Structure 1
Amino acid sequence: MQVRTTRMHEEDAKIIYQETAGLAIITIHRPQAKNALTANMWDELAKIAVQTLNNPKNKVLIIKGSGENFTAGSDIKEFNAISLEKAEEAFVQMEKTISTIENLPLPVIGVINGPAMGAGLELALACDIRIGSDNARLGIPVGKLGITLNNKFAKRLVDLVGPSATKDFVFTGRMYKAEEAYKAGLLNYLVAEKDLNRFSIRMGKLVAGMSPASLLAVKKSVKECLDASPVLWKGSTPFVDPTDFPEGVRAFVEKRPPKFARKKEN
Structure 2
Amino acid sequence: MRVQIQRMEEDDAKITYQETAGLAIISLSRPHSRNALTSNMWTQLSEIGAKILDNPKNKVAILRGTGEQFTAGSDIKEFHQMSVEEAEASFLLMERAISTFERLPIPTIGVINGPAMGAGLELALACDIRIGSNKTRMGIPVGRLGITLNNKFAQRLVSLIGPSRTKDLVFTGRLYDADDCKSLGLINYLIQEERLDRYAIRMGRLVASQSPASLKAIKRSVANCVNSVEELWQEETPFVDAHDFPEGVASFVEKRTPNFQRRL
Scaled to the shorter chain, the TM-score interval is over 0.9
Judged with a 3 Å threshold, the aligned counterparts in structure 2 of structure 1 residues 104 and 233 are, in CA distance, closer, same or farther, namely farther
2:75 paired residue number:
75
Shift, 1:259, TM fit: 1.1
Q: Distance in 2 between matches of 1:175 and 1:31?
A: 21
1:39-67, Cα deviation, whole Å (9 max, x unpaired): 11001001001111111111000000010
Judged with a 3 Å threshold, the aligned counterparts in structure 2 of structure 1 residues 27 and 230 are, in CA distance, closer, same or farther, namely closer
Q: Distance in 2 between matches of 1:205 and 1:31?
A: 28
Q: Distance in 1 between matches of 2:241 and 2:215?
A: 39
Q: Distance in 2 between matches of 1:196 and 1:234?
A: 41
Q: Distance in 1 between matches of 2:176 and 2:13?
A: 27
Judged with a 3 Å threshold, the aligned counterparts in structure 2 of structure 1 residues 236 and 222 are, in CA distance, closer, same or farther, namely closer
Shift, 1:235, TM fit: 8.3
Q: Distance in 1 between matches of 2:219 and 2:263?
A: 40
2:188 paired residue number:
188
1:240 paired residue number:
240
Structure 1's unaligned 5+ residue stretches are: none
1:18 paired residue number:
18
Shift, 1:133, TM fit: 0.7
Shift, 1:233, TM fit: 7.0
Q: Distance in 2 between matches of 1:4 and 1:235?
A: 40
1:137 paired residue number:
137
Query: How many residue pairs get matched?
Result: 264
Shift, 1:157, TM fit: 0.3
Q: Distance in 1 between matches of 2:232 and 2:79?
A: 26
User: What secondary structure is seen at the aligned counterpart in 1 of 2:17?
Assistant: strand
Q: Distance in 2 between matches of 1:39 and 1:235?
A: 25
Letter aligned with residue 246 of structure 1: P
Letter aligned with residue 241 of structure 2: D
CA RMSD of aligned residues (A): 1.2
2:176 paired residue number:
176
2:89 paired residue number:
89
Task: Identify which range, 203-212 or 225-234, moves more after superposition.
Answer: 225-234
List structure 1 segments (4+ residues) > 6 angstroms apart after TM superposition: 232-235
Judged with a 3 Å threshold, the aligned counterparts in structure 2 of structure 1 residues 75 and 224 are, in CA distance, closer, same or farther, namely same
Task: Identify which range, 36-45 or 236-245, moves more after superposition.
Answer: 236-245
Q: Distance in 2 between matches of 1:234 and 1:93?
A: 21
Judged with a 3 Å threshold, the aligned counterparts in structure 2 of structure 1 residues 239 and 45 are, in CA distance, closer, same or farther, namely same
1:90-144, Cα deviation, whole Å (9 max, x unpaired): 0011111111110011000000000000000000000000000110000000001
Q: Distance in 2 between matches of 1:92 and 1:235?
A: 16
Q: Distance in 1 between matches of 2:183 and 2:66?
A: 25
* TM-score normalized by the length of structure 2: 0.98
1:5-51, Cα deviation, whole Å (9 max, x unpaired): 00001001000000111100000010010000011100100100111
Q: Is the 8 A contact 2:150 2:236 kept in 1?
A: no
Q: Distance in 1 between matches of 2:11 and 2:168?
A: 35
Q: Distance in 1 between matches of 2:179 and 2:225?
A: 28
User: What secondary structure is seen at the aligned counterpart in 2 of 1:61?
Assistant: strand
Q: Is the 8 A contact 1:152 1:233 kept in 2?
A: no
- Identity, % of aligned positions: 64
Q: Distance in 2 between matches of 1:214 and 1:140?
A: 33
User: What secondary structure is seen at the aligned counterpart in 2 of 1:207?
Assistant: helix
2:148 paired residue number:
148
1:99 paired residue number:
99
1:201 paired residue number:
201
Q: Is the 8 A contact 2:22 2:60 kept in 1?
A: yes
Judged with a 3 Å threshold, the aligned counterparts in structure 2 of structure 1 residues 122 and 67 are, in CA distance, closer, same or farther, namely same
